[in-house]
Structure formats: C-alpha cells, structure tokens
C-alpha cells in the first residue's frame, strides 16, 4: 500500500510537532518538507521530521495533504502561488489569524483549502522545538468549513482527531475576535511587560528578583517577533479592541490603588479569580 504523502511548508515548532504526532500514530505517512531556512531543512532531516526536502512547488502539489505552517503573511503569498491543485489534495493552513487568509484563497483552489488554528504552542521555534505531544488534548478551530470540499473536510477532521485534538468549528471573523482576546492581546501584554522591566531594571536585578509569576507572564515575550508582527498586522482591528478593553481594567486597578479603595480592589480581584472556574 502506498503511503500518504504529506507536504509540510515551515519546519518549525508547529510543522515539526505535527509530523512527530502523526508518526506516533501511524507509519502510513511520507513527509516532504519545505523551508526557506537551510539550517531548518538539515535539522528536520536529522531529527526525522521529514523524509525529504524540496523547493519545488510541482513536487509539493503531488502530496495528498499540504500543511502551511509559516507566518500568516507568508501563508497568503503561498496560497496565491498555487495555480491549481489536484481535486483530492487537501491544503491546510495553521495560521493564528483566519479571516484574511480565508478571504485570500483563490476560487480555483477554495474547495482544496481548510483554514485551521490549533490552539497550542510554546515560545520556542525551529525544528529542535518540535514536541510529539504538542497537539494532544488541545483544541483546533476549523473556520469557514462550509467553503471546503467534502473530501477536504473529512481529511482535515481525521488528521486532527488522529493526533488527539478536539474540533471546534466557527466563522473566521468570529475566530479572529476571540483569538485577539485570548491569544493576541496576552502576547502584546507580555511583550509590554518585558520591555517595561528592561527599561527600569538592570539585568542582574532581574535575575536576582524575578520569581515564578514574572517568568510565567513574560515567558511568551520570547516568541518570534517576525511571526507576531504579521499576526498583529492581519488582526489589527481586533487586537486594538482587546488592548483597549485591557487598558480599561488596568486604569481601574490604578485608580483603586491610588485612591486606596482596598475593599473595591479586593472585589475586583475576586471577580478575576472566577475566570479559572470557567477554564477548569
């Protein structure tokens, strides 16, 4: 029986982890990798994330499934480079924004395409960051699924459920607003936190005093600036709305501390505690 050929464009954390997760489930796959970074290509081969490397779109188009695990601006450029795809090919992007990507898909390959956002990741990147259990028990959001072909819908659902993910379907516009609040705004806050401390404290003081709380909140500030620049650009309106909502709460906290309204502050913090009841 011939193996299922999977092309992975972008051999970093997300693409590499997807390969490891699929390899853990089955030996039925053959992986073809593509990445503009030569070091990533050699590392992916050494780590067994892919079986071969290519820079040919012609070869990539022979794959049964193509995964786009690259920055969101690059996803749009890559999608537009496909003049055609076989009817049985499934093209899946893993971008953190969805509406602009979904709207950018050319009509002649729209049925081939599935817009997906696995709600997982770490602050690390590159092939060496790949983890075989990164996707296990996490949510993947499938957007505008009604625009995808029946075959492509089935392929995407099976691929993600096979690696232990929970499926959630919604429109791309709705996804981007939700993602701005639960993912994109927290990253902006983490970058801001890191920069506010760097400008105030010496490096030795940071190392000496930084505890678990600061490290947890600033951890994602180690994420790729290039990737997050693209995300903020594509989801600008929603990110600004989320940041404005955050600023309202921060101003409220500042006002209560300044006016020594301690009981009111305590009640405000108790309300925030309730979020964990929802998440647990």
Question: What share of the chain in percent tops pLDDT 70?
Answer: 96
Question: Is the confidence at residue 276, as pLDDT, over 80?
Answer: no
Domain 175-279 sits in CATH 2.60.40.2550: no
Q: How confident is the model at residue 201 (pLDDT cuts 50, 70, 90)?
A: low
Computed on alpha carbons and rounded to an integer, the radius of gyration of the chain in Å comes to: 21
Q: What is the pLDDT of residues 61-72, one digit of tens each?
A: 999 999 999 999
How far is Cα 87 from Cα 90, in angstroms, rounded to an integer? 8
Q: What is the pTM of this model?
A: 0.87
Domain-by-domain residue ranges, the chain? Answer: 4-170, 175-279
Query: Max Cα separation, the chain?
Result: 73
Query: Are 14 and 94 spatial neighbours (Cβ–Cβ below 8 Å)?
Result: yes
- Architecture per CATH, domain 4-170, reads as 3-Layer(aba) Sandwich (3.40)
Torsion sign (Cα): 235, 114, 220, 248: positive
Q: Do domains 4-170 and 175-279 have the same CATH topology?
A: no
**CB count, 10 Å around CB of 225?**
10
Q: What's the CA gap between 232 and 57, in Å, rounded?
A: 29
Per-residue pLDDT for 78 more than 90?
Answer: yes
pLDDT score at 1: 64
pLDDT on residue 257 = 97
What span, in angstroms and rounded, lies between the C-alpha atoms of 28 and 93? 22
Q: pLDDT at position 199, please?
A: 80
Residue 218 pLDDT > 70: yes
pLDDT digits (tens, 9 = 90+) for 115-159: 999 999 877 888 999 999 999 999 999 999 999 999 999 999 999
Question: What are φ and ψ of residue 92, in 5° steps?
Answer: -120, 130
Give the pLDDT confidence score for residue 234 in this predicted structure. Answer: 92
pLDDT at residue number 187: 93
Average pLDDT, the chain: 92
Chain segment 223-254, per-residue pLDDT in tens: 888 889 999 999 999 999 999 999 999 999 99
């Amino acid at each position: 029986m011939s193996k299922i050929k999977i092309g992975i464009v972008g051999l970093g954390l997300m693409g590499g982890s997807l390969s490891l997760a699929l390899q853990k489930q089955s030996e039925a796959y053959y992986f073809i990798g593509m990445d503009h970074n030569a070091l990533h290509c050699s590392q992916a081969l050494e780590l067994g994330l892919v079986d071969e490397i290519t820079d040919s779109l012609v070869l990539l188009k022979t794959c049964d499934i193509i995964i786009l695990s690259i920055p969101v601006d690059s996803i749009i450029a890559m999608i537009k480079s496909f003049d055609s795809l076989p009817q049985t090919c499934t093209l899946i992007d893993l971008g953190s924004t969805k509406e602009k990507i979904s709207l950018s898909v050319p009509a002649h390959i729209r049925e081939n395409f599935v817009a997906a956002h696995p709600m997982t990741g770490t602050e690390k990147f590159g092939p060496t960051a790949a983890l075989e259990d990164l996707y296990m028990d996490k949510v993947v959001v499938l957007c505008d699924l009604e625009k995808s072909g029946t075959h492509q819908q089935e392929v995407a659902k099976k691929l993600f459920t096979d690696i232990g993910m929970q499926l959630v379907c919604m429109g791309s516009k709705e996804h981007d607003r939700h993602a701005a609040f639960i993912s994109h705004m927290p990253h902006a806050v983490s970058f801001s936190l890191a920069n506010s401390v760097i400008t105030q404290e010496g490096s030795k003081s940071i190392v000496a005093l930084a505890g678990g709380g600061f490290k947890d909140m600033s951890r994602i500030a180690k994420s790729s600036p290039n990737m997050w620049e693209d995300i903020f650009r594509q989801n600008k309106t929603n990110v600004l709305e989320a940041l404005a909502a955050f600023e309202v709460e921060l101003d409220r906290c500042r006002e209560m501390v300044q006016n020594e309204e301690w009981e009111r502050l305590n009640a405000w913090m108790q309300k925030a505690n309730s979020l964990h009841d929802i998440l647990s």
